A and B are shown apart, each in its own frame.
Chain A
Amino acid sequence: MPDSIKSLGGALRRATRERLTFNGRNHSVLILSLGGLALSLLVRALTPDGYEFPETLAKRFDLAGAVNEAENWLQENISFITRAVSEFMGYWLEKLELFLWFAPWPAVALALTLPALAYGGLGLGLFTFAGVMCWGLFGMWDAAMSTLSLMGVSVIFSAILGILVGILCARSNRTEAIVRPILDTMQTMPAFVYLIPAIFFFGIGGPSAAVAIVIYAIPPVIRLTNLGIRQVPATMIEAADAFGSTPRQRLWKVEIPQALPSIMLGINQTIMMALGLCVLATFIGAGGLGEEVWKALRRLKVGWALEGGLCIVFMAIIFDRLSIAMSTPADRRSLYDPSRLRFRLLPQKWDSFAPARWIESVIDVLWRKAVMISGAVAGLSAAAAIAAKPLIGEEFAALLSARMRSRHGLLTGGVLIILIFLWDSWISGIGTFPRDWTISIREPADGAVAWLAVNPTFIAFTTGTRAFIYLYILNPLDNFFVGLPWWYVLAAFFVLILVSVNWKFAVISVLAFLFTGITDLWGVTMYTLASTIASVSVCVVIGLPIGIIAAHNRTLDNFIRPILDAMQTMPAFVYLVPVLMFFGGNPVTAIIATVVYAIPPMIRMTILGLRQVPENVTEVSGSFGATGLQTLIKLKLPMASPSIMLGVNQSVVMALAMQVITPLVAGLGLGKEVFDAMNFADTGQGLMAGIGIVLLAIVLDRLTQGWTRRQRQALGL
């Protein structure tokens, strides 16, 4: 059987490649897609409306009931284990939270700014300081400290556990094969499915939230640790073995250090994902910035929610940039021309502008002074360390003083932080962020939303957009997919995946779709498919042109970059209410909210793909007399297509992740099933719908990845 399927796939692929070539050009993809579409439309036209998955199959298995039984059993029998875990997590969480709450605020600000300054330079340092100040100025200092401690504890646990599992995966292919699908599931399983059941096992508030965050955010560390260790050059391992290192030495002295940049990237992604969950964590009482957003939203205070959202955005961007700066070696310094003033804040290419030079020379003087002072502090401490030689041993004293001198900035900062603490506890209390230092954007933000919501021109625009998306995209797709006979959908996906991925995955996908059928979720799954395709097509239609323009225009690029950052890290809850006020309560609002969330990778990957096209390609094409538009369409876009396809892939995955959020604003489909199940506290039903989303995500992810790979092969990359 497998062999015959395999050969069928091969034959199909050969046929498409060889037979459909006319005039020396391969039209296979075009012809096949048109043919497939025509066939599907024909089948749809021939089947009556309301053709459904056979009820005898759909109602036969009560999987949801079995899950609920299992949950009851687990509640009675393993709660004591999970409670011990959460007590352990809760202990550290509480310690850190109380510490941050009662620590003098300048010490906290300095402790965050200092590494940013040391690793990311003046720009990142200033940004970090401004972000931290915003937490205080928006009146959310305590909330930010809670979120910070929740992030800290869950990221540290994720890192420790993730690196361990990653090492195990790198050691054995079998472990990796077992772990990989589990990671896929953890990443795509909607948190709403396990958030409520988690309460009975792990309690309310922080500990439960930390567990949920670890589940959701650990996969990148595991994946990238595994990848990093596997990519260590074999010659290096051989050399280590040749020098007689034990496996343990090899791991800690060769493999881990070599894999460190990769591991850091994994931790970076883990931090981002963890922050993504911090609003959802409010659903189980975790407090922090998410609570501010939730409190604001339930009273429709958009401005207040926006401030909370911005605090989260700042936190995300700070940690993102900092962890990236820490994982990339700093060798840029050598590139600077010593005869010119080295710019620390502004772009170096601005050095032809006098005002930029003035600003930078002031910064330069201050910088040098700071370096001098911190050098002096370090010198003093180093001298003290040398003087303490008899106490701590010669070797250690030498090392200590050398370290102090080489990292004088961090040392001085540390001394400063300790001084602030001493000042706070012995001289005069500094305490938490002063209450009367505030800035607020609540009123202008509320005003803007209220004004837009009644502005006739804007409302005419939103009404038109909504009507267009509903009448011409969502409704036809919905009718089409929901009306297609189930056996046809199965067959179509089978062929599609057979051609684009491989026969094994084609069989798995068919089983996945059958699963949604037998759990009585066929119709909603098809609706989810339709609305995902609708959202992603809107992403492509809007994102591709923006990406193309931004790839050719630096100003636009610089302008949209921070907006894209904010769109990706801003909790969706913040913009759900304004989007609903503008577009009204209907499924299109859900699509619009999904587009806002899922469009950034589409734009980013388009820009990246076009930028990566070598300069000389455009030059050659220009010298043959091609116009800019011709070069773009015939050369650059095809060459950038793998990257653009990757953007589509990420948009698809993100659109599916958004499926569980959109039910809050009238979204339908599998996400709504999850959400309703949560409200009924029906874990079984929620899990079934959650698995449906996971399966859909995995199938669509592999499918689009398969297309990307074929595109790369076609281009010989």
Chain B
Amino acid sequence: MKPLHILKTGGAALATSLMALVGSPVAAQGVLTAPVADWTGGQVTCHILQVILEDELGYKVKRIVMPAGPAIWEGVRSGDMDFGCEAWPSYNPISREYVAELGGDGSIAFLGEAGIIGRSSYYVPRYLVEGDDAPAKGLNMLADLNNHVDLFKTLESGDRGRLIGCPVAAWLCEDDKRLEANGINFTAVELGSETAHWAEMQAAYNRGEAFVAYAWEPHWIHAALDLHKVELPPYSEDAFPATGWSEDVTFNYGNPNMLTDHPEAAAVITNSYLTNEQQAGMILAIDVDGRDIDEVVREWMAANEDIWRAWLP
């Protein structure tokens, strides 16, 4: 070996030994991995489970930030993530491919209903319908939209009104078909991402503009903006998409290995059940009062021990 080589390898060895000096701090025993949801409600549901798994069952739960969508499902299916909380069937068409209970191939396990019931509809800002000089007074039903076409016109929509529809094509909202079936003289636009959807609503709301947009409950947007629901024809399986949506029965899910390798953890996740009303208070504390999620969840858990203790196997 040439001296210069020794010098270089010496430097590399020194760097590696410095790295070794620091070392790895986490013992890898009983680590479960789960995604962090994009929406506050999902974060609350999962955080409660995380606290139970960590404090009561002695697991370490590793959380991964990932946009909601197929990436998370692929991650759970491949076993890189162990479980996920509060999946909304409407927004995860891919779940029908993987979850046996929804007609899929069983490569992802169904871990019980999450308890949260999602309700989707169209909304307008309250300032459009309430107040003395509100421009769209009496806009309560879908059919009423035809009385206010001019109010909702834009450059691109021409002589029809513009509905800010479902942002993601994969959610299969069929907004345009619904409008057509009900004879509503509106066109639906698809903004491409949830972020764009809420940003458009927020900006238009701040400017006091007229808009009608798709949204669902529970969601933080209702804490940020004062919205008024436009009632859709009640859901019927045969008439959809001419009607409104069915209720979204959310569920927890996991890699099938969870059932065999971590039966206790799987049982807690399956048993867990949080209603909209129970979740609402926590969402408000986080979104409106801007409090830390961990603090809010632990406070709720201290006050409602009987609820979550019942989930333990």
Contact = CB atoms under 8 A, between A and B. Distances in A.
Chains A and B come from one and the same complex: yes
Interface of A: 94-96, 98-99, 102-103, 195-197, 199-200, 203-205, 282-285, 287, 291, 294-295, 297-300, 393, 395-396, 399-400, 403, 418, 421, 425, 450, 453-454, 459, 466-467, 470-471, 576-577, 580-582, 584-587, 662-667, 672, 675-676, 678-681
Contacts of A459: 207
A581 B202 contact: yes
A666 B192 contact: yes
Interface stretch (B19-27, B240-248, B272-280): B19-27
A666 B7 contact: no
Contacts of B71: 195-196, 199, 204, 283-285
B67 A300 contact: no
B74 A666 contact: no
For the side of the interface on B, what is the size category?
A: 35 or more
Given A421-B21, A664-B192, A205 B7 contact: no
B81 interface: yes
Contact of A396 (B3, B69, B170, B203): B3
Interface in B1-59: 3-4, 6-7, 18-19, 21-25, 35, 38
Contacts of A581: 199-200, 202-203
B78 interface: yes
Contact of A470 (B21, B64, B67, B156): B156
B154 interface: yes
Interface string B186-226: 00011111111111101110110000000000001000000
Contact of A282 (B65, B164, B207, B220): B65
B65 A300 contact: no
B196 A199 contact: no
Nearest to A86: B80
B310 interface: no
B153 to A, nearest CB: 13
A291 B65 contact: yes
A582 B202 CA distance: 11
28 contacts: A94-B24, A95-B19, A102-B23, A195-B71, A197-B74, A200-B74, A204-B81, A205-B64, A285-B75, A396-B6, A399-B7, A421-B18, A425-B21, A576-B195, A580-B191, A581-B203, A584-B203, A584-B204, A585-B191, A586-B155, A663-B192, A663-B193, A665-B192, A666-B190, A679-B70, A679-B170, A681-B70, A681-B94
B77 interface: yes
Contact of A450 (B6, B25, B190, B206): B206
B93 interface: yes
A202 B71 CA distance: 12
Given A204-B81, A680-B170, A285 B35 contact: yes
B25 A681 contact: no
Contacts of A300: 195, 198-199, 202
Most B-side CB within 10 Å, residue of A466, A577, A662: A577
B80 A576 contact: no
A298 B38 contact: yes
B181 interface: no
Given A102-B22, A102-B25, A676-B170, A584 B200 contact: yes
A443 to B, nearest CB: 13
Contact of B74 (A196, A287, A295): A196
A407 to B, nearest CB: 11
B66 interface: yes
Contacts of A681: 70, 73-74, 94, 97
Contacts, number: 167
A199 B203 contact: no
Given A454-B206, A582-B203, 18 more contacts: A203-B80, A204-B80, A283-B71, A284-B66, A285-B64, A425-B21, A466-B155, A471-B155, A581-B202, A585-B189, A585-B196, A585-B200, A586-B154, A664-B193, A664-B196, A666-B189, A675-B192, A679-B70
B169 interface: yes
Does more than half of chain A's interface fall in helix, strand or loop, or is it mixed?
A: helix
B168 interface: yes
B196 A665 contact: yes
B94 to A, nearest CB: 5
B219 to A, nearest CB: 12
A283 B24 CA distance: 26
Contacts of B4: 399
Contacts of A298: 38, 67, 194-195
A297 B195 CA distance: 7
Contacts of A204: 64, 66, 71, 75, 78, 80-81
A634 B123 CA distance: 59
A94 B62 CA distance: 15
B66 A285 contact: yes
A680 B189 contact: no
Given A199-B80, A200-B77, A400-B7, A679 B69 contact: yes
B84 to A, nearest CB: 12
B3 A400 contact: yes
A298 B38 CA distance: 7
A166 to B, nearest CB: 22
B199 A399 contact: no
B94 A680 contact: yes
Nearest to B201: A585
A467 B66 contact: no
A495 B193 CA distance: 40
A676 B169 CA distance: 6
A98 B24 contact: yes
Contacts of A94: 24
A471 to B, nearest CB: 7
B192 A672 contact: yes
A580 B203 contact: yes
The 8 closest A-B pairs by CB, nearest first: A679-B170, A581-B203, A681-B70, A199-B74, A585-B200, A396-B3, A285-B66, A664-B193
Contacts of B193: 663-665
B207 A453 contact: yes
Interface in B73-93: 73-75, 77-78, 80-81, 93
Most A-side CB within 10 Å, residue of B25, B156, B192: B192
Contacts of A421: 18, 21
A400 B6 CA distance: 10
A107 to B, nearest CB: 9
Interface string B85-107: 00000000110010000000000
A172 B251 CA distance: 57
B154 A199 contact: no
A299 B67 CA distance: 12
Contacts of B7: 396, 399-400, 403
B90 to A, nearest CB: 13
B70 A678 contact: yes
Most B-side CB within 10 Å, residue of A576, A586, A666: A666
A103 to B, nearest CB: 6
A592 B54 CA distance: 47
Given A298-B194, A300-B198, A580-B196, A679 B189 contact: no
Contacts of B207: 453-454, 459
Contacts of B3: 393, 395-396, 399-400
Given A298-B195, A679-B170, A681-B94, A283 B67 contact: yes
A672 B71 CA distance: 17
Contacts of A667: 192
A453 B170 contact: no
A681 B104 CA distance: 14
A680 B168 CA distance: 10
A576 B170 CA distance: 21
B203 A453 contact: yes
Most B-side CB within 10 Å, residue of A200, A300, A676: A300
